[in-house]
Amino acid sequence: MHPDAPRAGSPRAPAPVRFDLDRYLSSARRAVLDEIRAIVGSKGRYDPILYQLMLDYPLREAKGLRPALCMATCRALGGRLEAVLPSAAVLELYHNAFLVHDDIEDASLVRRGAPTLHEQHGVPIAVNVGDGMLSLALQPLLDNVPEIGLGPALRILQAVAHMCRETVEGQALELDWVRQGAWDLGEEDYVELVVKKTGWYSFITPVRVGCIAAGADEATLEGLSDFARAVSIAFQIQDDLLNLEGELDAYGKEIGGDLWEGKRTVMLLHALRTCSDDERAWALDLLARPRPDAEGARLGTLVDELHARGSLDAAGHAALQEALARATGGVALAPKTEPEVRALLALLERQGSLAHGREVAERWAAEASTRLDAFLARTPASVHTRFLQALVDYVHRRAR
């Protein structure tokens, strides 16, 4: 008998309990949603035209990784929930406000399994809702003063201000690439974009805010920031992969939307670097063309039908066509079609670009794991440190 084997009748060692990541996320999300409802509040006549709409995206089904990461970091370092919860809720408000604006800029149709806010209510209302969410996020940070003290409260406010600058710079960089038609980009360009546009507000700032709320030292704050940076890159690459490979019900956004929008991803940049000159020329021509504008297409069809029936003369037909072109950005190029986008996805598959993306994501996930292990080696184990471990494991699984 092996010396470590249990003897007959002796109690067996209990099997290790698998950490329930979803349960932890759900618990954190409930607390954050209660806090967001309190922040948004009720304003009588403005509720149906503004404040209820602010709760639309936050209340849609989502994991709530950002606030959970913020709270777990604070609690893992011995901080109190009350010290971090308002700031975690603010980060979630910022996230959802950014989503509202991103969906407009990207002309996205679906968000978390439902039509985007601008599709439901129009662009002007959606812009105002996003602006309103950003404006409401300031007061809770000021209210941190009596809870955690003036110094830490100001440091959190400074961290959020830095996050906003990084995020809008990242968005500006991506929009400039689109405007310039820039495709001669390497993976270092992609990493810079991801860290600025997504990494700071999704992972780095939640970790930094959690550290500040817990009173952590500077070495801990910087070490966990490096961990969060690596996690953010791995996570975003896998999110881009899911956009190409996932099922709509599980992913919550339109499948292939990144190709319709011409989003710069590790996979698309790899395909453009490795395909033939003819394939690259075809792909770049397709990527330069717009996605179909559903409302513009409907109006264009109506104008053509009126002209065909004789209800609109040639001059009126031409004038309306020109006005529609201006209203939709003056685009003269034919929009992308579904068969063409499917052909572009097939090009990525032929070039092994999806497998390449998974490999790059795995490398960054491994880097995150190494950074986290250094932190865990000097931190007492708790349900909160187990969440951080489970988060890295989750990113690893997504990256494989």
- What is the distance of C-alpha 80 from the center of its chain? 27
Q: Which domains does the chain have, with CATH numbers?
A: 21-274+354-399 (1.10.600.10)
The per-residue pLDDT for range 80-136, each reduced to its tens digit, is: 999 999 999 999 999 999 999 989 987 788 898 899 999 999 999 999 999 999 999
- Structure-token pair, residue 381: 């184990």
Rounded to a whole number of angstroms, the CA Rg of the chain reads 24
Beta strands in the chain (DSSP E): 110-111, 114-115
Who contacts 102 (Cβ-Cβ below 8 Å, separation ≥6)? 108, 171
Helix (H) or strand (E) holding 277: helix 277-287
CA distance 374 to 226: 11
CA distance 400 to 166: 29
Phi, psi of 303 (to 5 degrees): -60, -45
Who contacts 62 (Cβ-Cβ below 8 Å, separation ≥6)? 29, 112, 252
Per-residue pLDDT at 294: 52
Q: Which residues pair with 115 in a beta bridge?
A: 110
Q: Which residue has the tokens 């989750």?
A: 394
pLDDT tens sequence for the chain (400 residues): 333 333 334 344 444 457 899 999 999 999 999 999 999 988 889 999 999 999 999 999 998 999 999 999 999 999 999 999 999 999 999 999 999 998 998 778 889 889 999 999 999 999 999 999 999 999 999 999 999 999 999 999 999 999 999 999 999 999 999 889 999 999 999 999 999 999 999 999 999 999 999 999 999 999 999 999 999 999 999 989 988 875 434 444 555 778 988 899 999 999 999 999 999 999 999 999 887 765 555 566 666 777 787 777 888 777 777 776 666 555 456 788 889 999 999 999 999 999 999 999 999 999 999 999 999 999 999 999 999 999 988 876 765 5
Q: Is the pTM for the entire model greater than 0.85?
A: no
